[in-house]
Homo-oligomer: A and B are copies of this chain.
């Protein structure tokens, strides 16, 4: 006791430890739901995967999709999208299980780049298929000899999948930009 009092008398101001404890580390500020390594992010990835796979299966069960380039492209794009989403979902599950944060700028920029590429490809394929589906159904009225309903369903599922990749992409890009700011 006497020892403590004499030490405090020697060093009256002991400021540094409280200061470093009060300032929050800025890198941990922007860690909200939907980003990789969170439950929201995993849910987004899983839904992307499910919609992409439904689109793939529905388009694959039509007999005449290989005759139209845009439908072949849709099959390729949603295949890539489903592979990318299930891969990222696995990474998210790993991060959640070992309680590891995926806040590394290099990892986040890789995820952002991949999300940007796959979402652009999926959206382009969905738009091309939608254009052709509308051409067949509304402009030419050829739905009685074509699988219009299946084409429309596959297109809609591809749009849903794209719609769910956009939050992932924007959140990753946001976290990347706010991390590299001064």
A: residues with CB less than 8 A from B are 24, 26, 29-30, 67-70, 120, 123-125, 127-132, 134-135, 138-139, 170, 173-174, 176-182
Do B178 and A69 touch (CB < 8 A)?
no
Do A68 and B123 touch (CB < 8 A)?
no
Quick one: which of B24, B132, B138, B174 contacts A177, CB cutoff 8 A? B174
Chain B residues with CB under 8 Å of A138's CB are 69
Chain B residues with CB under 8 Å of A132's CB are 131-132, 135
Do B135 and A30 touch (CB < 8 A)?
no
Q: How many copies does the complex hold?
A: 2
Q: How close is A47's CB to chain B, nearest CB, in angstroms?
A: 20
Quick one: which of B26, B125, B174 contacts A182, CB cutoff 8 A? B26
> How far does the alpha carbon of A69 sit from the alpha carbon of B70 in the complex, in Å?
16
> How far does the alpha carbon of A30 sit from the alpha carbon of B180 in the complex, in Å?
11
Chain B residues with CB under 8 Å of A29's CB are 181-182
Do A131 and B70 touch (CB < 8 A)?
yes
Quick one: which of B30, B67, B123 contacts A181, CB cutoff 8 A? B30
Do B139 and A68 touch (CB < 8 A)?
yes
> How far does the alpha carbon of A176 sit from the alpha carbon of B135 in the complex, in Å?
40
Quick one: which of B68, B174, B181 contacts A26, CB cutoff 8 A? B181
Q: How close is A182's CB to chain B, nearest CB, in angstroms?
A: 5
Q: How close is A56's CB to chain B, nearest CB, in angstroms?
A: 18
> How far does the alpha carbon of A58 sit from the alpha carbon of B14 in the complex, in Å?
74
Chain B residues with CB under 8 Å of A177's CB are 173-174, 176-178, 181
A-B contacts, 26 of them at CB < 8 A, read A24-B182, A26-B181, A29-B182, A68-B139, A69-B134, A69-B135, A70-B134, A70-B135, A120-B123, A123-B123, A123-B124, A124-B127, A125-B127, A127-B128, A128-B128, A128-B130, A128-B134, A129-B131, A132-B132, A132-B135, A173-B173, A174-B177, A176-B177, A178-B178, A178-B181, A181-B181
